[in-house]
């Protein structure tokens, strides 16, 4: 594991060099027009700045990434990315605020931008021939009676549908208003390869859509059957929900429904690239850093 005192976390020039190397491993290209006909500008005030010889635009390694227009130095971004990826359950804005010496509001924005970087925006189909994909749904919401807008029952919580391929370890999770045959169908059709074996519990939600897959295995939980007669389980997807819920209670103390999908992206990212699959904290952070490009944020309010 990289020490938190490593140069890219403490020195701004080293941090910029680290960011440039991550973003432009094959050489610098202009974020505006894609040209590689660029040059580094001289001068103290133009540190980290490039000029495109084709479109004449100026840019830095932050341009066109979630770091653009942020006043937080690159070394603090890199440290935040590392911290959020090195802790299994994530890191709250309060912790980041204290560890990075930035305001709580800045830490909150930073964390949500990093969650965007952890979102896979070009996902390929999950599973395929010879693979199984486990699907399950749960409900998420703050059930504390002291919570703002407290209402009783499942119908007032957000639904979450998650998919896990136990062979590759890949996880995806989606916020839905409520889990219905239609919402489940749309998620499965857009994400799971039809040649896969779908594994779910006995819920009616998956019965119809399950017919579109090569095979549909069900595990009967109401009958205390955790492994069906052919050896299939939904343990992996339940394990993902377990980690997500523990993290949301212990670290994040719940979140508003409008932010839930970003937290789901964060947990799915860490699960997909978890240490149990041989991914180190450094490698996971490096993958998150690769995801900073091409993601724009539209929300503003920190609560
Ligand atoms: Zn250009």
User: Could you tell me the domains of the chain?
Assistant: 132-273 (3.30.420.10)
CA 200 – CA 238 distance, rounded (Å): 11
Grouping H, G, I as helix, E, B as strand and the rest as coil, residue 156 is: helix
Comparing CA positions, the residue from 215, 237, 213, 219 lying closest to residue 162 is 237
pLDDT beyond 60 at 146? no
CA 10 – CA 184 distance, rounded (Å): 46
Distance 141 CA to ligand 1 centre (A): 46
pLDDT reported for residue 251 = 87
pLDDT reported for residue 301 = 44
The larger pLDDT score, comparing residue 156 to residue 124, is at: 124
Distance 19 CA to ligand 1 centre (A): 19
User: What mean pLDDT do residues 107-119 have?
Assistant: 95
Residues 6 or more apart whose CB falls under 8 angstroms from that of 81 comprise 114, 117, 285, 288, 289
Give the pLDDT band of residue 303 (cuts 50, 70, 90): very low
CA 18 – CA 2 distance, rounded (Å): 13
The larger pLDDT score, comparing residue 302 to residue 227, is at: 227
Distance 97 CA to ligand 1 centre (A): 36
Buried b / exposed e over 220-231, threshold 16 CB at 10 Å, is: eeeeeeeeeeee
Query: What ranges make up the beta strands (E) of the chain?
Result: 38-40, 50-52, 58-59, 132-140, 158-164, 171-176, 197-201, 215-219
Range in 50-54, 113-117, 298-302 the model is least confident about: 298-302
Q: Compute the radius of gyration of the chain from its Cα atoms.
A: 22
Q: Are 293 and 29 in contact (CB under 8 A)?
A: no
The pTM assigned to this predicted structure is 0.90
Q: What is the pLDDT of residues 124-136, one digit of tens each?
A: 899 999 999 999 9
pLDDT beyond 90 at 69? no
Comparing CA positions, the residue from 208, 136, 198, 131 lying closest to residue 172 is 136
Distance 30 CA to ligand 1 centre (A): 5
pLDDT reported for residue 122 = 81
The larger pLDDT score, comparing residue 299 to residue 20, is at: 20
Distance 51 CA to ligand 1 centre (A): 8
Distance 24 CA to ligand 1 centre (A): 15
Give the pLDDT band of residue 154 (cuts 50, 70, 90): low
User: What mean pLDDT do residues 175-183 have?
Assistant: 93
**What average pLDDT does the chain have?**
90
């Amino acid at each position: 594991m990289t020490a938190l005192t490593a140069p890219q976390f403490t020195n701004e020039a080293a941090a910029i060099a680290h960011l440039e190397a991550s973003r432009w491993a094959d050489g610098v290209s202009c974020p505006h027009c894609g040209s590689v006909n660029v040059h580094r500008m001289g001068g103290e005030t133009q540190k980290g700045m490039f000029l495109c010889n084709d479109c004449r635009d100026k840019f830095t390694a932050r341009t066109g990434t979630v770091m653009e227009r942020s006043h937080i130095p690159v070394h603090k971004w890199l440290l935040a990315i590392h911290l959020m990826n090195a802790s299994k359950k994530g890191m709250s804005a309060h912790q980041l605020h204290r560890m990075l010496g930035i305001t709580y509001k800045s830490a909150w924005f930073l964390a949500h931008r990093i969650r965007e970087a952890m979102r896979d925006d070009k996902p390929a189909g999950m599973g395929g021939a010879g693979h199984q994909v486990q699907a399950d749904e749960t409900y998420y919401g703050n059930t504390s009676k002291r919570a703002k807008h407290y209402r009783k029952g499942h119908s007032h919580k957000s639904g979450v549908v998650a998919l896990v391929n136990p062979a590759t370890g890949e996880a995806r999770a989606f916020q839905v208003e409520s889990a219905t045959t239609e919402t489940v169908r749309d998620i499965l059709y857009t994400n799971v390869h039809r040649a896969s074996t779908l594994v779910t519990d006995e819920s009616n939600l998956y019965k119809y859509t399950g017919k579109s897959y090569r095979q549909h295995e069900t595990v009967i939980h109401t009958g205390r059957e955790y492994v069906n007669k052919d050896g299939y389980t939904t343990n992996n997807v339940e394990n993902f929900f377990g980690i997500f819920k523990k993290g949301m209670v212990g670290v994040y103390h719940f979140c508003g429904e409008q932010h839930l999908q970003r937290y789901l992206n964060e947990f799915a990212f860490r699960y997909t690239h978890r240490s149990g699959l041989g991914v180190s904290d450094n490698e996971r952070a490096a993958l998150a850093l690769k995801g900073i490009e091409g993601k724009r944020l539209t929300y503003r309010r920190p609560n």
